[in-house]
Structure 1
Amino acid sequence: MVQLALLFLSVILIQFFLILWRFKWNWLEFPAPKIHDWPKVSILVAARNEEENLPKLLESFEKLDYPKDKIQFLFANDQSEDETPEILKHWCKSQTNARFITTKKLSDSHPVNPKAEALAQLSEIANGEIYLFTDADCAVSENWVKGMVSGFGPNVGMVVGVTHVYWKGFLRFFQDLDWWNTQGFMKVASDLGVSTSGMGNNMAVKKRIYEDCGGFENLKFNLTEDLELSKAIAKAGYRVHSEIKPETLVLTKAEKSLKKLLAQRKRWMFGVLTLPWYWKVILAFQFFYFPATFFLIFQLGWLMVPFILAKIFLQAGFHKSIASRAGLKLSYFSLLSFDFYFFPTTALTILYYFWPSPIEWKSRIYP
């Protein structure tokens, strides 16, 4: 049993060595197209009760460096109960290339994902060659559109950008590290040609491919509509490419409480359980590292210290490397604390997922 646990830990260490090696020598990035080749794009945003967050997003849209005659802003007010529609109406009136709609009210049973339904309605009036998606609680970088468009290399059907969690506070910092951890693994898989998930707050899809795959309107019900769309694109034979650089950076709002964080993670768990088996194995390895380590500490005592420190420092280097590719500097020593967040949060997420309680998302309840 001790030998098996040691083998398990060794695989974790080798994994981080190989990831860091790939980051240094095999980073895949496509060259930007020439300026006269920029295609027309449509930016699609679904918003529900986002009066607090929309001003930050709209301000970032106003600063976008992209030809105004080649960009279309589309917003769907998803039955908001606050000032969201008024904010969108006022902003769209001030722009020559913006429009918003209000979605139809869904039945109480919610037979479809309301966000997917809202985006599907927007796609019907989109006229861009490329659709870009972000969320109402985000803010995009000045060169976001150019950066995302540049990610469409050979046979790429979907481009996934990079996300940085903003806000202040202890919990925000660890959520940010959680995003870097996930995005790092997605980047390695993407560069190896392995299908990864979409990210609804920061992704782009070619219109032709979106329509060929049936779009959001033909996806089966799931609370992770971005993952379902990326699976449809991969099934059609196209690559889902992770493009991590300063130009593709999007800021997203942190969950402000542990309760809201667990509710978010519980919703994501529904998508995780639909992933291919090899992704489940990779995720299981990250979690079961901790039980294996605890077991070996009781068996071997201080002899485990080198293993634990090696993993912590390699993991910190992994997070720091992926963030630096996005143009952000993270304190190396502050990264060493990630495991103190990751294990308890993951354990609580698993328990909360199986706890017999509904999911609350955007003021709607899902059994």
Structure 2
Amino acid sequence: MLPVHGFFVLFFAVCGALLLRLLTHWRRPRPARARPRVSILLPARNEAQHIERCLRSLAALSYPPELLEILIGDDHSTDDTAAVVRRFIADKPQFRLVSIGAPVGLARGKSNAIAQLTRQATADYFLLTDADMALAPDWVQHMLGAAEIDRPGSRVGVVTGATTATGGVFGRLQGLDWLFGLSVIRLLSDAGLPVTAVGNNMLITRRAYDAIGGYEALAFQITEDLQLFSCVVGAGWDYRNLWHRAVLGVSMPQPTVHCLLEQRKRWMRGTGRLPWFLSGLFGLYGLFYVVLFFPPLMSWPFTPLVLGLKVLLQTLFLHRSLRQVGRREPLWLLLLYEPYLALMSVLVIGYTLLPGHISWKERRYAWAEV
């Protein structure tokens, strides 16, 4: 039993350290005093159902409209995405619909849409989001503040905001998943350990983007946001991960378990490119169930006590993470997250191991290609 006890000592030491850091290391981001022109880039493919929600949030930004350039890239949609966008932006000069053309350079799919939007953009700061997102009113100035635009010579090249999801119980559990993972990433980033950016809530400076040649110069990867972040940081640029209600984006959830599994299979493709310390943390967390419920090791009262301690620390972590971004969830939902996480962990691993393509935005990618 000594190796088992050693595993749980390590597990709870890591969980306790993360919770302690969450409680003691949190700073409110400051908005930028300067008001430069910015380009908001919104790639969209078959998003007629959700994109107006995103456009309404962008129209409601507290940043001066005359300093906003909001470019929506219609990436060969086969639904009414373009028509919905045209109706909405008809009387809003800061918005512009761009038809995405043939791939440029090495870019494909979403990375090609972003590459073409950057070529159309005229500002020195790019803010990226997705069509199923709704952003906070003060999003722009707080993301710019983290980029330290008021400080001459700043080397901050990429900034990531916070993301959660909304909807019914299934959607809110997905929101807790977003918050849990991104909160851990933020803590690691604040400790000087670069992990990743998230493409639905990200700022990248034109200087940093151009320094790596843009997406058209990068070998195609399906996890394009992780790729961009890694290249920018690898080129010597600094990074920031923010955690506050002013930079919170609220995503629409995946509507079904199958859609969620497709999303997570795509994410799992990028896990091999994550830094070792984050992969180690996720691996430690995933092994918890394997070790705890391995039949020869299960015992009373050891097994329920260990599971109860995990749920307690996890619930405290989620509660504090929610409060820091201005959200609340009832205790029963925070407790429900544990069986949801256990079940989804098994399903995602099993689904990822199944042979077949990765489906994303009604396009199919072979695992070996990405």
Q: Same fold (TM over 0.5)?
A: yes
* One-letter code aligned to 1:117: N
Does the CA-based 8 Å contact 2:106-2:219 persist in structure 1?
no
Displacement of 1:238 after TM fit?
A: 2.2
How many residues matched? 361
Displacement of 1:297 after TM fit?
A: 7.8
Structure 1 stretches of at least 4 aligned residues deviating more than 6 Å after TM superposition: none
Displacement of 1:90 after TM fit?
A: 3.0
Question: Aligned to 2:69, what secondary structure does the other structure show?
Answer: strand
Aligned position for 1:144? 139
Once structures 1 and 2 are overlaid, which stretch shifts more, 215-224 or 289-298? 289-298
CA distance in 2, matches of 1:331, 1:67: 37
Percent identity (aligned): 28
Match for 2:56 among 51, 56, 59?
Answer: 59
* TM-score with structure 2 setting the length: 0.92
Question: Aligned to 1:340, what secondary structure does the other structure show?
Answer: helix
CA distance in 1, matches of 2:279, 2:360: 24
Does the CA-based 8 Å contact 1:193-1:239 persist in structure 2?
no
Displacement of 1:111 after TM fit?
A: 7.1
* One-letter code aligned to 1:128: A
CA distance in 1, matches of 2:210, 2:290: 45
The answer to whether structure 1 residue 90 and structure 2 residue 87 are counterparts is yes
Once structures 1 and 2 are overlaid, which stretch shifts more, 62-71 or 24-33? 24-33
Give me the CA root mean square deviation: 1.9
Task: Kindly report which structure 2 residues correspond to 1:212-231, keeping only aligned pairs within 5 A, or say none.
Answer: 212-231=211-230
CA distance in 2, matches of 1:271, 1:94: 40
Question: Aligned to 2:239, what secondary structure does the other structure show?
Answer: strand
The answer to whether structure 1 residue 133 and structure 2 residue 132 are counterparts is no
Structure 2 residues without counterparts, runs of 5 or longer: 149-153
Aligned position for 1:166? 166
Does the CA-based 8 Å contact 2:32-2:142 persist in structure 1?
no
Task: Kindly report which structure 2 residues correspond to 1:78-117, keeping only aligned pairs within 5 A, or say none.
Answer: 78-105=75-102, 112-117=107-112
Does the CA-based 8 Å contact 1:117-1:216 persist in structure 2?
yes
CA distance in 1, matches of 2:258, 2:283: 23
Question: Aligned to 1:199, what secondary structure does the other structure show?
Answer: coil
* TM-score with structure 1 setting the length: 0.93
Cα shift readout 1:40-86 (whole Å, capped 9, x = no counterpart) = 11100011111111111111111110012211100110000111112
The answer to whether structure 1 residue 45 and structure 2 residue 38 are counterparts is no
Does the CA-based 8 Å contact 1:79-1:105 persist in structure 2?
no
Match for 1:73 among 70, 82, 92?
Answer: 70
Cα shift readout 1:314-364 (whole Å, capped 9, x = no counterpart) = 111111111111111122343122221112212221221121111111111
CA distance in 2, matches of 1:167, 1:277: 33
Aligned position for 2:151? none
Task: Kindly report which structure 2 residues correspond to 1:1-367, keeping only aligned pairs within 5 A, or say none.
Answer: 2-34=1-33, 37-105=34-102, 112-153=107-148, 155-168=155-168, 170-295=169-294, 298-367=297-366
Cα shift readout 1:94-139 (whole Å, capped 9, x = no counterpart) = 22222221112569xx974311001100101112221101101111
